[in-house]
């Protein structure tokens, strides 16, 4: 991990976050979510959303190479429905950087930060067909519920996981 740095994201990171977000969706969900939907994802639109997020109070951390290229990120905070405590909003890595411990490090940053904020649990939504979902299960979360998510006019099963923070 000596070639990577982990730090809190700032406004200048919006383009890199958008790049990772869109490209990781395209590789992770290929064959699960329609190719038409995945190709319709816009880096420019995603960048604008990241500008909005990073312009306010946020908990987004990036993993970057020594050259400053962002290869992954994690975003988390208060659970959005109000039903649970903390929530992992997003964690994405470019495909070629998966399996190197970066995701585990980013996940640890989220878990430690949420615990420090006084949360005892982290809520996680994951597509049931996500080939990387086993990553979450290594942390031994409890499957609480399943819901249907519509992406590009198609229905997909989503699992709601609750992880106790120690």
| Cut 0.75: pTM above it | yes
DSSP 97: G
pLDDT of residue 2 exceeding 80, the answer is no
Per-residue model confidence as pLDDT tens digits over 47-93: 999 999 999 999 999 999 999 999 999 999 999 999 999 999 999 99
Mean pLDDT score, 134-159: 95
| Residue position matching structure tokens 């420090």 | 116
Percent of the chain residues past pLDDT 90, beyond the cut: 95
pLDDT at 100 > cutoff 90:
yes
Q: Is 83 exposed, middle or buried (0-12, 13-18, 19+ CB in 10 A)?
A: exposed
What is the strand order of the sheet 60-65 is part of?
A: 4-8, 60-65, 70-78, 86-93, 121-127, 154-164, 142-151
What pLDDT digit, counting tens, does each position of 7-45 carry? 999 999 999 999 999 999 999 999 999 999 999 999 999
Of 90, 78, 76, 75, give the one whose Cα is nearest residue 25: 90
Is 46's pLDDT higher than 70? Answer: yes
CA pair distance 10, 58, nearest whole angstrom: 9
Closest CA to 114 of 141, 79, 83: 79
Site of tokens 């609480």 = 144
pLDDT computed for residue 1 by the predictor: 63
CA angle 134, 94, 107 (to 5 degrees): 50
Q: Residue 11 is encoded by which pair of tokens?
A: 């406004």
Residues 40 and 46 sit within 8 Å (Cβ to Cβ): no
Average pLDDT in the chain: 96
């Amino acid at each position: 991990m000596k070639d990577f740095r982990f730090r809190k994201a700032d406004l200048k990171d919006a383009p890199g976050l958008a790049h990772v977000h869109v490209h990781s969706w395209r590789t992770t969900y290929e064959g699960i979510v329609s190719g038409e939907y995945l190709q319709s994802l816009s880096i420019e639109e995603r960048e604008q959303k990241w500008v909005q997020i990073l312009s306010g109070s946020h908990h987004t951390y990036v993993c970057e190479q020594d050259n400053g290229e962002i290869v992954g990120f994690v975003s988390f905070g208060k659970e959005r429905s109000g039903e649970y405590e903390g929530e992992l909003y997003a964690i994405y890595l470019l495909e070629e950087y998966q399996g190197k411990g970066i995701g585990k490090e980013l996940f640890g940053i989220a878990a430690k930060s949420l615990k420090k904020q006084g949360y005892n649990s982290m809520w996680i939504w994951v597509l049931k067909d996500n080939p990387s979902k086993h990553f979450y299960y290594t942390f031994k979360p409890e499957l609480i519920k399943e819901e249907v998510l519509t992406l590009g006019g198609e229905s997909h099963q989503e699992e709601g996981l609750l992880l106790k923070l120690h």
